[in-house]
Amino acid sequence: MLKNIFIALILLIAFVLIGAYWFMHSKPFGRYPEGERLQRVESSPNYHQGEFRNLSPKAQSTQTTKKPRWQVFYEFLFEQRENLRPQQKLPGIKTDLKALPADRNFFVWFGHSSYLLQLEGKRFLVDPVLVAGSPLSFINKMFEGSNLYGPQDMPSIDYLIITHDHWDHLDYEAVTALQPKVGRVITGLGVGAHLEYWGYPADKIIELDWDQQVRLEGEFRVTALPAQHFSGRDLTRNKTLWASFMLQTPHENIYIGGDSGYGDFYRDIGRRFPHISLAIMENGQYNQDWSNIHILPEQLLQAIRDLNPQRVIGVHNSKFALSKHPWKEPLEKLFRGAQQQGFNLFTPMIGEVFYFSEDNQEFTKWWETIR
């Protein structure tokens, strides 16, 4: 009897391990750099001993507190907090994106870090997580109302920008559905391996290291800039690069912040690009335990001061509960900080169009109406 139970247990464990191996080698997990792409990765000054590293030695670890790792993991999984998710459907506007005027510069947010920019007639789609933000969507379920847009709603895209390869920024189902609509892709070193594996032509993928710049059509330029984060779609970390980006047009400098903790590089970016029209900043999913990789509210205010932009929009909130703060806390804290420090903050709800030419355009504190 005991022998039969032991054999059954061994078979069960083997079945689970084989299933997990198969699952983690399925197509949505992507593919890491090989061949010439790997050679380019390995030649980067930001790649050391088999992985990309942050600029600050203190930020090589994602954990910032002295708690045991098991405690951080346990609290993340099991600690109960109130108001992690809205109790009501989030408000939003279903804008016909394909009908928006081609001669105006605008920003439209889709929740979390997904948004559409139109600049001088060119469309840029950033981190479009429109279907699922994790390998198992029921684990990281979108807030009700935050899934107002899908790939089918997107217009043709001149440039798809991917800041890094985490699931909540690189959505396999969304980017594969969007591929016929995308002209070119701009991303960090190594991330193109995923996209090429998923059907994007290699000659349409631009992969940049930090501080590398490429000229796009006309007078458009994009520069990959440092961020303080990490990467990986499975248990392997930091084989691809995470980045922020400066998008320069004849009349606008747009900073695309990406996921990041606070570092001196914000001050350096502000000095290098003294006329930032709009800074789109990560604002949410932070925790004292991992503030190296997700900026805290008080640090965010310092980062904005360092960059000194004309306008600010906060993203990385209102779609997923990836941390333990109340869902609306990032919005409330940034709004109060902007009032106190005089930042020109704009707060469009999901789907609401912000036109750059209308600095007097007013947006409501829409989150206050939701429990």
Question: Alpha carbon of 94 to those of 99, 117, 149, 154, 352: distances in Å?
Answer: 12, 16, 8, 12, 8
Q: What is the reported pLDDT for 17?
A: 47
Instruction: Fill in the amino acid letter for 244.
Output: S
For residues 174 and 130, give the distance between their C-alpha atoms in angstroms, rounded to a whole number: 6
Longest dimension (CA), the chain: 78
Backbone dihedral angles phi then psi of residue 48, each to the nearest 5 degrees: -135, 135
User: 97-356+363-369, what's its fold?
Assistant: Metallo-beta-lactamase; Chain A (3.60.15)
For residues 5 and 11, give the distance between their C-alpha atoms in angstroms, rounded to a whole number: 10
For residue 221, the cross-strand partners are 215, 248
Q: What is the reported pLDDT for 4?
A: 58
For residues 73 and 61, give the distance between their C-alpha atoms in angstroms, rounded to a whole number: 15
For residues 273 and 3, give the distance between their C-alpha atoms in angstroms, rounded to a whole number: 70
Give the residue among 58, 244, 84, 217 at the shortest CA–CA distance from 161.
244
Instruction: Return per-residue pLDDT of the chain as tens, 371 residues.
Output: 655 565 655 655 554 445 545 555 689 999 999 999 999 999 999 999 999 999 998 888 887 877 777 676 667 666 777 899 999 999 999 999 999 999 999 999 999 999 999 999 999 999 999 999 998 877 789 999 999 999 999 999 999 999 999 999 999 999 999 999 999 999 999 999 999 999 999 999 999 999 999 999 888 999 999 999 999 999 899 999 999 999 999 999 999 999 999 999 999 999 999 999 999 999 999 999 999 999 999 999 999 999 999 999 999 999 999 999 999 999 999 999 999 999 999 999 999 999 998 878 889 999 999 98
Q: What is the reported pLDDT for 16?
A: 46
The label of the residue with tokens 């980017």 reads: 175
Which residues make Cβ contacts (< 8 Å) with residue 68, sequence separation at least 6?
Answer: none
Give the residue among 332, 331, 276, 325 at the shortest CA–CA distance from 303.
276
- Say if CB 234 and CB 240 are below 8 A apart: no
- Please write the tens of the pLDDT for every residue from 190-203: 999 999 999 999 99
List the chain domain ranges: 97-356+363-369
- Please write the tens of the pLDDT for every residue from 79-102: 777 899 999 999 999 999 999 999
Quick check: helix, strand or coil at residue 52? strand
What does DSSP assign to residue 180?
G
